[in-house]
Amino acid sequence: MLTLDGVQVSFGGVSALKGVSMTVAAGETVGLVGPNGAGKTTLFNVISGIVRPTAGNITFRGQSVLKAPEWKRARMGIGRSFQIARPLHHCTVRENLIVAQRFGAGRIDHQRIDEILDLLKLGHKADRDAVSELALTEHKALEVGKALATDPHLLLLDEVLAGLETNGKRAFMEQLALVRDRFNLAMVVIEHDIPTISALCPRVVVLNFGEIIAEGPPAAVFRNPEVVRSYTGEAAA
Amino acid sequence: MLSLTLQALFSGVLAGGYYAMVAVGLALVFGTMRIINLAHGELVLLAAYVAYAAESQYGLNPVMAIPFALVIVGASAALVYALLSRIDQDREINSLILTFGLGIILTNAVLMIWAADIHSTTAPWFQESVVVADTLFAMRSEVVFFVGGLVLMAGVHGWLNHSWQGRAVRALSSNRNAAKLMGVNPRRTEILSFLVAALLATFAGIAIYTGKTIFPSLGHVMTVKAFIITVLAGMGSIPGVLIGAVMIGCIESLTVTYVSASLQELAGMILFLVVLFVMPSGLFGGRKAIAR
């Protein structure tokens, strides 16, 4: 579904991504991990079109998306959530989803909106005055909901579980798994919490200094000495 | 004394109506593009001079000049947008320089074509006195364009809140990147904002030509006034901008009545500074939003 081929990004003289190549299959959930500054969010920015790569190619569902601006990529089926929630202020939760659906999917389907609200447990807050009243978990759910409303085939979730306590993380992760299965989505999830990412993602890709240093099943990857050194900062066992 | 004060406040409210039309346009463009269009006042100037040319050269009623002014001002706004959209680095500062330069070019073009003389409509209908609530006087033009301006701004408010393109404007204003990832086409939304701003500027220009006097530096004066009002209101809501505009209109009118006409602009500036000192986010600030 998604193929990155030798993607490079430079900001001035600094290389943020150094020839990243990876694939995500339809319906697959991939964890993207790495220490701060590894290039995880930059990779999301490149896939979603916010940042243009200096070299390399990105194909989505068989088409190169390099020249497509971010709003076209959203309409092609690449959904994205941000680490810091970016709702439309002064709009209700439902209005946020409807705007995303109208522009991202090009249609209004109230049944799907209701379904998203139910899956993300936002139904009781759907028509409250403004999103500024939401709790942290609800803000996170809204971020996912806005992306889901655009009818994506691929969902990029940037530290959507960050800041939640253990039980909250577990509950939210279960919701994400339900959402993925219900809408048959491919997902790429950036997350620092190893137990969480191991439970959610059958495959993990590790970035460090803009390069992929390991990928594979979580159990094997998190035992990789290079990953241990780069990601946790601890010496290899 | 009381009737004089009431009359000053009434005149201030009426002036606030067309100040608001200019300021809402500036705020709309700022909301969608995060740039301050320093040539916005010159669009008002252009509309006013189109009305003047239509009346003085072709004998047209200034109201009949509105369609011509709309086309010319709309085309000018589209040109400003086309140039602005080519800026891809340091957009905030480069757009200020570009629009400041365009404002100077437009002002000098007006000066070259129509000279520096002061003009106003010669149609007596606009300048006839009307009495409101038995004791308050105004020119017919002021009342007509105040009411027309309110209707127009209510329309823009409704468009922002209830149309899909209006919601796209609000989405871009709320968070540009998030809106784009929701599928909002920023270019289409931005050009639409410019055209709506041009529509408001056109009506404001015709209002000023029929109710006040016009001169080539009017554009600069209107840009500064619109900027002050927009910041005073908190870079946001249309009702907030309207209240800010009426406040500026009233303080100016009271200053002219009780102090001196030469201190009119200074009074507005002092109010602006006092409000910003006490409420740094403006009267209705706090969140970046258009409408509501």
Give the Cα separation of B221 and A63 in Å (integer).
52
List the one residue out of B118, B126, B162 whose CA is nearest residue B142: B126
Please report which confidence band the pLDDT of residue A234 belongs to, taking 50, 70 and 90 as the band edges: low
* pLDDT (tens digit per residue) in A38-76: 899 999 999 999 999 999 999 999 999 999 999 999 999
* pLDDT (tens digit per residue) in A156-195: 999 888 888 888 888 888 889 999 999 999 999 998 888 8
B37 found inside a domain: yes
Give the Cα separation of A164 and A136 in Å (integer).
8
DSSP β-ladder status, B129-132 and A211-216 = unpaired
Chain A contact set for B178 (CB, 8 A): 82, 86-88, 146
B264 found inside a domain: no
More confident residue, A133 or A155: A155
Query: Is A68 part of the contact surface with chain B (CB cutoff 8 Å)?
Result: no
Query: Is B171 part of the contact surface with chain A (CB cutoff 8 Å)?
Result: yes
| Total domain count, chain B | 1
Q: What is the DSSP letter of B214?
A: B
Query: Both tokens of residue A17?
Result: 């991504």
B135 found inside a domain: yes
List the one residue out of B202, B111, B191 whose CA is nearest residue B152: B202
Mutate to test the interface with B, among A70, A84, A158 (most CBs of B within 10 A): A70
Query: Both tokens of residue B241?
Result: 């901008």
List the one residue out of B14, B244, B47 whose CA is nearest residue B150: B14
B146 found inside a domain: yes
* Chain-centroid distance, C-alpha B26: 7
CB contact under 8 A, A132 and B170: no
B27 found inside a domain: yes
Least Cα separation, residue B225 to chain A (angstroms): 27
Task: Please state the ipTM of this predicted complex.
Answer: 0.83
pLDDT at A129: 61
B121 found inside a domain: yes
Chain B contact set for A69 (CB, 8 A): 180
B50 found inside a domain: yes
Which chain B residue has its CA at the smallest distance from A78's CA? Answer: B181
Chain B contact set for A92 (CB, 8 A): none
Farthest-apart Cα atoms in chain A, separation: 54
Which domains does chain A carry? 2-232 (3.40.50.300)
Domain with B119, as residue range(s), is 22-217
Candidate from A38-42, B88-92, B165-169 with smallest mean pLDDT: B88-92
Chain B contact set for A90 (CB, 8 A): 170, 174, 287, 289, 292
Burial pattern A26-59, b for ≥16 Cβ within 10 A else e, equals eebbbbbbbeeebbbbbbbbbbbbbbebeebebe
B276 found inside a domain: no
